Structure formats: structure tokens, C-alpha cells
Amino acid sequence: MKTITLTPKKFSSIALEFDELIPDKVYDWNKEDFEKYEVPIGNSRFPLTDYFDIEIEGSAEGPEEVKMILDGDMGRVKYIGCKMSAGDILVNGDADLQVGAEMTGGSIKVNGNAESYAGREMKGGSLEIMGNVREYCGTSYIGEWRGMSDGIIKVHGNAGKQLADCMSGGEIYVDGGCDILAGIHMTKGYIEIGGDVTRWPAGQMKNGTVVIKGKLGRLLEGFEVEGIYKNPEIHGKQLTGKYIKYKGDIGVNGKGSLWLNAEKNRDLL
Amino acid sequence: MAYEEPVTDYDKIVENCTCAFCGSNCDDLDYLVKDNRVVAVRHACRLGASKIMEDEDQRLIVPMIRDETGELVETDWDTALDKAAELIANAVRPLFYGWSETSIECMKKGLKLTEYVGAVIDNQATICHGPTVQAVQNVGYPLMTLGEVKNRADMVVYSGSNPMNAHPRHLSRYTMFPRGWFRPRGRYDRTLVTWDPKFSDTAKMSDIWVPFEENGDYEFVNAIRAVLKGKELKKDVIAGIPKEDIIELTEAMKNVEFGALFFGLGLTHTLSKQRNIDIAIQLVQDLNAYTKWVLLPMRGHFNVNGFNIFLSYEMGFPYGVDFCRGYPRYMIGETTTIDLLNRREPDVFMVIAADPGAHFPGGALAHLTNIPVIQIDIHWGPSTELADVVLPGTFIGVETAGTSYRMDSVPIHMKKAIDPPETCREDEWIVNELYERVKKIKEASK
């Protein structure tokens, strides 16, 4: 097991890009390699040691034996764990844009908030965010019709606009509330939102499942009631309480299901 | 408005000039020229005419550099260009914004400079029709030319746009009033519909006005799509419109011969942004199961569409392209101007043919006051107050010829009618000169 600890010592308002510092690439690096390494900032590269104190313990045969600890505020460090396939990354602070984007395996835990595009086009592994996420968590690249296709994202705070657009697999759990258009264009997968949702979840969904345990602000006309179920089992999970099941979105001949907590959404009954 | 005598005192008429104001790019203007000045413009709307004639009083004539006391002082071209080139060459996160009011030829030089220094290049789409471009990437572009609308359309819908104020000749030249091949009686053969929460000047002259509530666009269009698929609407009032009216409107839209939907920033910049356009495009796709429908964004500047077409052709991305790692990258919220400025990332900002000082949000402008700003423009504006180096360009379509793209992506050659002031230089020349000088500095430091 190899533990790599990076402790920030200097702040750069121009974001650092960490797409080259993933377990897949650094598992066999020793301290000299890190000291030699220059991190991309804007159109230049600067020594990583200008910005971080580096500590390495143990050794690793492969990326799965690597644990990277980013011990501090990473609010200006983009692409943390981007395209990683194995290993663990722990961020003890906020994470900037694109944390866990296109990851295929391994795990990332952020002990803070994450900026937009967390878990974009994720294909596997797990991403856990203890705080809030901003817009476009688990979404597709602009123009791509396939978003997150596998893996798990857990958000313990709130999620921003257009959570998981074009989702085509995997699972997303949000404990807090969620802004507009969660699961827009989704074709497969599972989204569970614990808190309240402002407007229009699952617009233009073709398939997949969205569960809302809180109060929904506004529902789209493209959804039709299929029935009311008590303690339903959805996606292999047993939910407690009464749920209204909707089918939609009719506009795209969708067969997706949207489940709303009946107690919290009495106005829709 | 007081009656104005027609201008009779002029030396020559330059015919078929192209207007350098909005995205309609009217190319039938006649300039009346006297003593190398345009004294009157025929056929243009008041917006176009006033831009062409009355710009001179705020005109930037000579290069300027801001001195230690904070005042802009006049200087010569060499000093100003060297100063600008030095700022660009030493920058870590340069950002080149604007380009929508200059020619494609100048953009080409700009892209070369951007790629060489590893900067971000972005245009006004980032604060206007950017969401449209994103939606087009997602679901396609059921586009036409304005000539098709003129000759064929019997229903024209304006959504979230007010062409009577912003594109004054759009209705008279392309969509509503002209007599077309299949619409011989012009206005009488067409139905004008406005979807707009405001009772705008366009809504006042429309046959049907649909005042859906603000931010209700997505829900409203979603309901029309559900009706098209045969669903009986459940709610009595959807996004502020009674369901009977939605059904009636849907029937009317199904039963035309050729429909055209035009939309402006009222649709692109409400709550659900690009998803409004996304669903509007899909509505047009649905309507094509019954009859012919097309859609077009009402682009603002005369070459804002040109920049998106040019950059898509050259780089594969329409705007907000970041070359900092040596290859083009494009990510809304990450490589777009406002987000970069709000995050306080750029360390040099070059603005060409745009006025961020007048249009950017306060947070973004606050950062511009902290970093060097280079301005290439033809007239004094709020951005000049922020600028540290001012390089006066020339007026495309009046003083310099160039290529622009109309809102329906038709390329149009813009004529030169008069000579530019002696001390000004063409935008294309300035940008190329910056490239040469930056290259010299970079190569010397290797």
C-alpha cells in the first residue's frame, strides 16, 4: 500500500490541472519523480513542489494499491481523479471542476463541496461528496447523448441544476435537495433524491428511474400517473411509505418511471 | 419624430452595402458619401443608419497607453503594439474575447495568435446564444435560409425575441411583409405568432400572442409536445396559459404549410437555458411529422454567427475554446469568459470589437479592473475606461471590406465605402502584427 499525501502550501487563482496525477500514472513514482514533476497551470507548467508539500509512504505494484490524500482546500485544482481506473483519492476540502470525470474505477471521497461536472461521463467506481455539488453532476459532455454510464455517485448535500443529464447507467444518490431538470434525457440508470426538488425532474426521459422523497415544486405535463404503491421495491431497493408512480416523458414516447413520495406531494394526488 | 429633409448634398452613392449592426445583415443599403464621410444611408433601419453615420463623434483615432497616473495617453503604433505584445507574451492565462463585430479574415489571424500563445478564445455567444449552440450540439439544427421563409412561410413564430425593436427589418425584409413566391399577398397570407411574457412591440402587431409566464418556457413547450403525441392535458393552466389555448395553438401549428420558429434571448436565458432550445428544436422535429417546420436563432451582432461557424470549422468547437494545454478544449463553465473572470483566472484580457464594460456582470468586471486589458475597437466605450492599451481599428463594412455570416449562416461580403482615418489600422493588420511581435518575444526568450 502506498500513501501519497499532498498538502497545499500556496494558492493559485489560476487552476491547477491534476489529470496527470492519478493513481494509474503515479503508482510507481518516488519522491524525486514528484519533485521533478511540473503541473499544468494555464498555458505553462510550474513545479508541483511550489504548491504542495509531498509525503510518500510505502510502495505499490499497481494503481489499486495507491491512496492519494489531498490534504486541504482543492478549490482551484481541476480534474482530480479524471480518467482514473483504480486506487483511492481522498480530498480533505473542496474540489474544483471535473472531479472524477470519466473515471472507470477506484474511489474518490471529497470532504467538502464539489464544483460543476463532478463525475461527468463516469463509467465506473465510486464518487462520494460530503458537501454540495454544483451544476451538471454526472452529466454528459456537451452534445454527447450518453452521460454517466456506470458507477455510483453519492452526494450528502444538495445538487445543482441538470443533475445527470443524458444518464445511461449507474446510480446517483442525493441526500439533500436538487434544482431543475434532474435526469433530463436519461435513458437508463437510477437517481434517488432525498430532499425537495424545485422543478421538472426527468424532462424528456426515455427510460430509467427517478425517485423523489421530498416535495416536488412543479411536474411536467409529459408524465402520466400509473398508480400509487405502498412500500414499493424499486431498482432492488425497498422504499418505505406511499409513492406515486408516473410514466414518461410522453413527448419522446418515454418509458421511464418517476416516483414521488405521496405524503409530501398530496397536491398531486 | 420631426420630419427630416432628404439629403441631397452628396458626392457619390455606394450601392449594395451590407449593414454592420444586427444579425439580419441587410445587404441592400446605399451609402451617400460626401468628403469621405457617410452623410446618409438609404434602406437601413434607424439602428443601422445611426451606427453607420453617427459613430464618428466617439471614434478612437490614435493608439493609447494608460500611464502611471491612470490616464490614457496618446502614443505611436510601435510603442502600443510592443506593450500589448509584451503583456500577451508574458501571460499565463490570457483570454481573447469579442470578435463578433469584425471580419472572418481578422478572426483567422486571431485564432493563429490564440493557438500560438495558448490562450482562450471566446465571443459574445458566451453571453447570448451560447445555450442555443449547446442545444444544437445535443439535438440538431432544423435550419433554413431566410429566403425560404420569405417565399414559403405562412406561420411565423417569434419566441422570447422582439424583432420590431432589435432586428427592425427582419419582418419587413424576410418573414412577414414581403410578397414571396408562394405567398403573393405578403402579410395577408401569413400568421404572426409571438410567445413572450411581455406585450412587446412585436406582440402588439401579432395575430396570436401567447404570454406564458416568465421561466415557464420549458413547461409550455413540453405541454405542446405532449398534445402532439395525443395526450389529454391534466392541469387547467400550464405555465400561465389555459390548456384549451395550448390545444388550439398546437392544432394551428399542425395545419400550416410552412412554419418558422424564431427565438431570441428570452428563450435562451431563462431558467432552463439550453434545455429550452433543446425542447423547442425537438418540438420542430415533432411538427415535421405533420407539416414543414424550421427554426432559427435571432443572432445579435452581424458576425456573431460567423465566429461560431468559423471556429467550429477550424477547431470543432463553436466558442470558448481553450488552448492552454496546446490542443483545443471546450467546456461550458470552465473555458467560457464569464466563468473564467468570476473565478479570477485570466491575467491578461484582450477585447476586440466588443464592449464587455457595458455588458458583463459586476463580478466579472471587478476582475477586469485588476488585470491588464487590451482593447481593439473603433469607438470609445465603457471598455476603454478599463483598458490599459487601446488600439484603434477600422469599421468593417464601411471602411474595410470583409466577410460576415448572416443569422441563417449565409456568408455575405461586406463592401468598403470610404477610407478609414489615417491613424487607424485594420483589425486584421493589428492582430497579425501582435502575432508577429509576440512570436519575436517568445523566440528571443527561448
CATH number at residue B65: 3.40.50.740
Nearest to B295 by CA among B326, B260, B332: B260
- Of B297, B329, B349, which closes a domain? B297
pLDDT in tens, A93-148: 999 999 999 999 999 999 999 999 999 999 999 999 999 999 999 999 988 888 99
The predicted structure's pLDDT at residue B44: 93
Task: Spell out which residues of chain A touch residue B334, defining contact as CB-CB under 8 Å.
Answer: 78, 97-98, 116-117
In a domain, B53, yes or no: no
Beta bridge partners of residue A129, listed in sequence order: A110, A155
Distance in Å, alpha carbon of A136 to nearest chain B alpha carbon: 10
| B333 at interface of A, judged by CB pairs closer than 8 A | yes
Q: Cα–Cα distance between B98 and B126 in angstroms, integer?
A: 10
Alpha-carbon torsion B258, B264, B270, B276, what sign?
positive
Task: Spell out which residues of chain B touch residue A136, defining contact as CB-CB under 8 Å.
Answer: 333
Segment A197-210 mean pLDDT: 93
Task: Spell out which residues of chain B touch residue A252, defining contact as CB-CB under 8 Å.
Answer: 282
Residues 6+ apart with CB under 8 A from B153: B175, B180, B183, B190, B258, B259, B260
Q: What's the CATH number where B149 sits?
A: 3.40.228.10
Task: Spell out which residues of chain B touch residue A202, defining contact as CB-CB under 8 Å.
Answer: none
Question: Contact at 8 Å (CB) between B63 and B76?
Answer: yes
Beta bridge partners of residue A212, listed in sequence order: A193, A260
In a domain, B392, yes or no: yes
Q: B107 and B158, same structural domain?
A: no
Q: B165 and B120, same structural domain?
A: no
In a domain, B412, yes or no: no
Q: Which of B225, B334, B344 sits opposite A222 (nearest CB)?
A: B225
Query: Is B275 in Cβ contact with A203 (below 8 Å)?
Result: yes
In a domain, B409, yes or no: no
The predicted structure's pLDDT at residue B231: 87
A7, three cell numbers: 498538502
ipTM confidence: 0.93
Mutate to test the interface with A, among B317, B322, B343 (most CBs of A within 10 A): B343
Beta bridge partners of residue A173, listed in sequence order: A154, A192
**End-to-end Cα distance, chain A:** 55
Q: Which of B92, B94, B279 sits opposite A204 (nearest CB)?
A: B279
Residues 6+ apart with CB under 8 A from B250: B224, B227, B228
E strands in B219-280: 237-238, 241-242, 258-263
What is the domain count for chain B?
A: 2
Q: B140 and B93, same structural domain?
A: no
In tens digits, what is the pLDDT along chain B, a chain of 446 residues? 678 888 899 999 999 999 999 999 999 999 999 999 999 999 999 999 998 887 667 889 999 999 999 999 999 999 999 999 999 999 999 999 999 999 999 999 999 999 999 999 999 999 999 999 999 998 999 999 999 999 999 999 999 999 999 999 999 999 999 999 999 999 999 999 999 999 999 999 999 999 999 899 999 999 999 999 988 998 999 999 999 999 999 999 999 999 999 999 999 999 999 999 999 999 999 999 999 999 999 999 999 999 999 999 999 999 999 999 999 999 999 999 999 999 999 999 999 999 999 999 999 999 999 999 999 999 899 999 999 999 999 999 999 999 999 999 999 999 999 999 999 999 999 999 999 999 999 999 87
Query: Is A218 in Cβ contact with B272 (below 8 Å)?
Result: no
Q: B237 and B341, same structural domain?
A: no
Q: B103 and B73, same structural domain?
A: yes
Q: B136 and B234, same structural domain?
A: yes
- Of B239, B269, B297, which closes a domain? B297
Count Cβ–Cβ pairs < 8 Å, chain A vs chain B.
Answer: 114
Query: Is B92 in Cβ contact with A43 (below 8 Å)?
Result: yes
Identify the closest residue of chain A to B136 by CA–CA distance: A143
The predicted structure's pLDDT at residue B115: 96
Q: B248 and B139, same structural domain?
A: yes
Q: B173 and B154, same structural domain?
A: yes
Is the N-terminal amide bond of A249 cis, ω within 30° of 0?
yes
Q: B310 and B240, same structural domain?
A: no
A244, three cell numbers: 406515486
Q: Cα–Cα distance between A165 and A153 in angstroms, integer?
A: 14
Query: Is A117 in Cβ contact with B333 (below 8 Å)?
Result: yes
| B279 at interface of A, judged by CB pairs closer than 8 A | yes
Q: B306 and B290, same structural domain?
A: no
Q: Which of B229, B235, B238 sits opposite A253 (nearest CB)?
A: B229
In a domain, B42, yes or no: no
In a domain, B144, yes or no: yes
Q: B165 and B135, same structural domain?
A: yes
Segment A37-42 mean pLDDT: 95
Residues B433, B417, B164, B160, Cα dihedral to 10°: -20
| A183 at interface of B, judged by CB pairs closer than 8 A | no
In a domain, B200, yes or no: yes
Q: B157 and B115, same structural domain?
A: no
- Of B297, B312, B332, which closes a domain? B297
Q: B239 lies in which domain range? A: 130-297
CB-side neighbour CA atoms (13 Å) of B10: 17
